[in-house]
Amino acid sequence: MSERLVTMIDAPTIAARVKELGAEISKAYEGKNLVLVVVLKGSFVFAADLARAIEGNLRVDFLGVRSYGEGTETSGVVQITQDLSRPIAGEDVLIVEDIVDTGLTIAHLMDLFRTRNPRSVRVCALLHKPARARVSVEVDYLGFTIEDKFVVGYGLDFGEKYRNLPYIGIVERS
Ligand code: IMP
Ligand code: MG
């Protein structure tokens, strides 16, 4: 089987949208104790760009999560593979996700974080595939709504491949 990549969202379009999100977030969190919680591994590229588009003080922490096997379907079981390095009590948490697909990961993280008494918890996702939602989750800051296609690049993988692509692409197999 051979794989072909088709561009869905090019790098300049992503960069422009990330700038806008950064400006919106900078305004909303002015004077607050913002913590970016980067959901690994898929969000590392988005988070690196987003953090630099946000003005003002923030701290960054990382959370390892696994919901997929090697395939393209979520297993439905969200596993924490690496926890945050510090408490988030009293802080304003912004979860940074690459993509909200079934919504199970975000729903699980919202439940988990609420037990740790942060001042607020919101979600910033680069991509959202509403067609596949299994639970409803609110995405407070959203880059793009996309159709139900499996996408790669800009941090997103297919079997750990393609994370380094500078754009969002669709893998076509033939
Ligand atoms: P959810 O729990 O189904 O919302 O899925 C969340 C996670 O699944 C995302 O953070 C991604 O890591 C992964 N995922 C979902 N859709 C895609 C896709 O189209 N390409 C690559 N990874 C995806
Ligand atoms: Mg992810």
Residue nearest to atom 15 of ligand 1 (CA): 101
Report the C-alpha gap between 106 and 100 in whole angstroms: 7
What is the DSSP secondary-structure string of 44-89? HHHHHHHHHH--S-EEEEEEEEEEE-SSSSEEEEEEEEE--SS--T
> Which pair of tokens denotes residue 101?
């697909």
**Given 92, 101, 140, 157, the catalytic residue:** 101
Look at the alpha carbons of 154, 156, 162, 163 in this order and tell me if their dihedral is positive or negative: positive
Give residue 76's pLDDT. Answer: 67
DSSP code of residue 1:
-
Q: Are 33 and 119 in contact (CB under 8 A)?
A: yes
Give residue 54's pLDDT. Answer: 98
What stretches in the chain show pLDDT beneath 50?
none
The model's pTM: 0.94
Give residue 61's pLDDT. Answer: 98
Q: Are 166 and 10 in contact (CB under 8 A)?
A: no
Residues touching ligand 1 (Cβ under 6 Å) are: 42, 67-68, 74, 97-105, 150-152, 156
Rounded to 5 degrees, what are φ and ψ at 164?
-85, 0
Q: Which of 68, 104, 112, 137, when mutated, tests ligand 1's pocket best, judged by the most ligand atoms within 8 Å of its CB?
A: 68
Give residue 87's pLDDT. Answer: 98
